[in-house]
Amino acid sequence: MTGALAIASLRRHPIRTFLATLGVAIAAALLLDMVMLATGMQSSFRRFLLMQGFQIRISPKGTLPFDSEATIGDASAITRALTANRDVVAVSPVLGAQVHIVQRGHARAATVFALGIDGLVEGDYELTAGAHVSAPDHIVVNDVMQRATGARVGDTLDVAAGLDPQLREYTGLRRLVVVGTGRFYYTAVNQPVMAVPLATLQAMGGSDRADRVSLFMVKVRDRVEPEVVARWINETLPRVTTISTTAALHEVDSRLGYFRQLSLILGAVSLVVGFLLVTTLVTVSVQDRVGEIAVLRAIGVSRGHVVQQIIIESLMLTVAGAVSGVVIGLITARFLDAILSTLPGLPAAFHFFVFRSSAGWETVALLVGSGLLAAIYPSWRASSLPVAATLRGEAVA
Amino acid sequence: MTAGVLLAALVLQTPAPAAIQPPTRHVTATETRQIAIDERLAADANLRVGDTVVLSAHPGGAPGDTVVIAAITQRGTDPSDVARDEYKVRLHLSELQELSGSGDRVDRFAVLTSGGAERDTALDRINAAAFGFRAYRSADVAVGTSKTFQVVSRFHRAIAGITVVASAIFLLCILLLRVDQRRHDIAALRLMGVSRRSVVWSVVVEAALISVIGSGLGTIVGWTASLLINWHYRGLYRTALTFALVTPGVVTLAVALAVVLGVTAGYVAALRLVTTPPLALLGR
């Protein structure tokens, strides 16, 4: 009965109800997008870091992984020290460097990013075709590098580690064979990348790169807290910075904190807009029906029933808007994520807007809460109507 | 230390972040090498001009150079490094090369030309002779480095688009309700012989006024919010950058958009009422 009256009230002004629902839907869409933005970066980055199960990164003191050209010396000794710890399952040393692909008939060499890896414990790429690097002259390349150089699996490339402007010649030149193609997790979307055995890349760089790496990735045993191992590394190796997943998340949060704060502000604004819209509409609806409400009260309908009807009316508007808003929000989130994905240097695996069912429920719950709040004033107004005076006023009108 | 030397020193970045050990004693500026540090480092490490520190290219107490802080510099307002919580130390190029073991190497050269055709000629000649390096116009470098902000700007525009749609619906809804509330008045006016055109016109003027007043209030709220945003982020990132800027162009756009949306919404709402017979509006 109460629900039927609420539906009848909404159906009486279909355009008004449609616009209010649409308004709430847009507010809900924006709110969902902002909830996704606020939580998505964290979850995406966590998933991104733990993609291959390495929970700890070790970089040169005072830097983040690949944030500078700094490298860590005595890499072999550090690897030995790390693997000696019984809580450490795997250590993957990685050296990053720019190399040049020297092609016949091309005046300028193509510059690509090379990752020197240990083929047995690498965690930087997923093989899409061919084979992994298993010999000193093997390389695995990504699609971007394939397009940039035209190299195919089985091709041989002349790769140089540097250029000597005075002698006008390439340094550290090696002939390497493309044995596979891969999808690299941590490099930028449009960056040409190749994986090469660590020892080869170190040798190509001469004495400057001898036994040096840019990063160690460390996997710890199950049920061992990575923070404990990170603390041990910090104490044992004072020349490096150890970054656990938690610390990395904290760092990315501080660097991309702007987006989180923006999402909080815009989320709050959309919630307020939805609240105001429902409050206004339900208040006007009550105002239009004061006569009816007075009659209902006069024939014995309790205040509670009147309040219930107004709350249901408010909730119907909110829920209908919220459900449509979730659908609109998912579409707009894809559009917004596509824009932010073009940020330079961002890996393909990283997303700003990540949908989780909890985000959808959170959005609906917030809007239902605001719908309940929006019903407070009109409910109070309806329940406190002076019955006799209102009926007299309506009769005169 | 001249600005020229400082700039020259900047073109070579240390391969590893230089480690700074705490001040030991105050010495005169002529005794040792001099460096300039940025105000963030000075504040965090409690360093002052005249303090002596040891600069090392490698952390962990590796031997380094004992230097005197000769100047404390203000950080540039570069948006690209605003979120990077880094310290900056400036020193003479040759000293940095020696400290970092870079030999006679630099990361980049800045070349001043008299501009125009001479700049293009110089660029072509450098690139023709270059092996291992490449010359770019400063403007091209600026375009490349500002890509992040172009993307963020596109994101802001997309969010603004969604906000405008939400505002338009909100405005249409409010004006529809407002005009609907006055259906008895409008019916009376129509029965007295006031033309539909006059009724629509009066509603549209009212809608335009509401939009102008609303956007005026919105401008004040926006301007106040921009002050708060700038105050918050300048403190957070310790920079003089302006994060939110209310310009006459932005205000004009917002007011124009609000008036256009308001007038359209008012017109649609008024049209709906004047096309309904007056007696029906009175419920007869």
B30 min Cα distance to partner chain A (Å) = 30
B161 and chain A in contact, CB less than 8 A: no
Give the residue on A whose Cα is nearest the Cα of B282.
Answer: A397
Of A30, A281, A287, the CB nearest to B162: A30
Q: Do A339 and B169 touch (CB under 8 A)?
A: no
Q: What is the pLDDT of residue B15?
A: 44
Q: Does A339 touch chain B (CB under 8 A)?
A: yes
Range from A175-189, B4-18, B143-157, B241-255 carrying the lowest mean pLDDT: B4-18
Q: Are B11 and B107 in contact (CB under 8 A)?
A: yes
**Cβ pair B147:A344 closer than 8 A:** yes
pLDDT at B7 over 60: no
Angle, vertex CA A80, rays to CA A78 and CA A86, nearest 5: 115
Of A19, A61, A164, the CB nearest to B176: A19
| pLDDT at site A274 | 84
The alpha-helical segments, DSSP class H, found in chain B are 3-10, 39-44, 93-100, 117-129, 138-145, 147-181, 183-191, 196-237, 248-274, 278-281
The pLDDT assigned to B223 comes to 93
pLDDT of residue B8: 31
Check residue B5 and give its pLDDT: 31
Please tell me the predicted confidence (pLDDT) of residue A2.
67
Who among B131, B152, B170 is closest to A23 (CB)? B170
Q: Look at the alpha carbons of A80, A82, A86, A92 in this order and tell me if their dihedral is positive or negative.
A: negative
Q: Which sequence spans correspond to the domains of chain B? A: 3-100, 146-281
Report the residue from A23, A165, A238 with minimal CB separation from B166. Answer: A23
**What is the pLDDT, as a whole number, of residue B23?**
54
The confidence score (pLDDT) of residue B12 equals 38
What six digits make up the tokens of A282? 């339900």
**Strand-strand pairing, A174-184 and A138-141:** parallel
Measure Cα distances from B146 to A336, B75, B104, B137, B260 in Å.
Answer: 19, 18, 30, 14, 34
Question: Looking at the complex, does the CB of residue A190 fall below 8 Å from at least one CB of chain B?
Answer: no
Evaluate the CA torsion angle A121, A123, A128, A134 in order and state its sign.
negative
CB A141 within 8 A of CB A151: yes
pTM over 0.80: no
Nearest-CA distance A377 → chain B (Å): 17
B21, pLDDT greater than 60: no
**Is the alpha carbon torsion for A140, A141, A146, A151 positive or negative?**
negative
Which is more confidently placed, B8 or A17? A17
Residues of A in contact with B180 (CB under 8 A): 13, 16, 284
Instruction: Report residue B18's pLDDT band, with 50, 70 and 90 as the boundaries.
Output: low
Confidence of residue B274 (pLDDT cuts 50, 70, 90): confident
Instruction: Determine, for residues B170 and A344 on separate chains, whether the beta-carbon distance falls below 8 Å.
Output: no
Please tell me which residue of chain B has the smallest CA distance to A168. B131
Does any CB of chain B come closer than 8 Å to the CB of residue A343? yes
Nearest to A19 among B85, B130, B173 (CB): B173
CB A23 within 8 A of CB A277: yes
The reply to whether residue A26 touches residue B162, judged by beta carbons under 8 angstroms, is yes
CB-defined contacts A:B, below 8 A: 110
Query: What was the pLDDT predicted at A300?
Result: 84
Alpha carbons A312 and A304: distance in angstroms, whole number:
12
B33 alpha-carbon distance from chain centroid:
37
User: What tokens appear for A92 in the block?
Assistant: 């993957």
Residue B187 vs residues A15, A16, B273, B283: alpha-carbon distances, Å: 20, 20, 9, 10
Q: What is the pLDDT of residue B59?
A: 66
Q: Select the residue from A16, A26, A163, A259 to test the B interface by mutation, using most B Cβ atoms within 10 A.
A: A26
Q: What is the pLDDT along chain A (397 residues), one digit of tens a residue?
A: 667 777 777 777 788 788 888 888 888 888 888 888 888 877 888 887 787 788 999 998 878 888 777 889 889 999 999 999 999 999 999 999 999 988 766 666 788 999 999 888 777 888 999 999 989 999 999 999 998 888 889 999 999 988 877 777 888 899 999 999 999 888 888 889 999 999 999 999 888 888 999 999 999 998 888 889 999 998 888 888 898 888 888 877 777 777 788 888 888 888 888 888 888 888 888 887 888 888 888 888 888 888 888 888 888 888 888 888 889 999 999 999 999 888 887 887 788 888 888 888 888 888 889 888 988 888 888 888 888 888 887 776 6
A164/B16 Cβ within 8 A: no
pLDDT, position B83: 66
The tens digit of pLDDT for each residue in B183-218 reads 788 888 888 888 888 988 988 898 889 889 988 998
CB nearest to A68's CB, from B17, B147, B180:
B17
φ and ψ at residue A301, rounded to 5 degrees: -70, 135
Q: Do A257 and B17 touch (CB under 8 A)?
A: no
Interface contact flag, A339 B59, Cβ < 8 Å: no
- The alpha carbon of residue B238 is apart from the nearest alpha carbon of chain A, in Å, by 14
- Please indicate whether, in this complex, the C-beta atoms of A280 and B83 are within 8 angstroms of each other: no
Question: What pLDDT is recorded for position B80?
Answer: 66
Q: Does A394 touch chain B (CB under 8 A)?
A: no
Query: Are A339 and B158 in contact (CB < 8 Å)?
Result: yes
- Which pLDDT score, from 0 to 100, does residue A180 have? 94
B159 touches chain A (CB under 8 A): yes
Interface contact A18, partner B, CB < 8 A: no
Q: Exposure of A338 by Cβ count < 10 A (0-12 exposed, 13-18 middle, 19+ buried)?
A: exposed
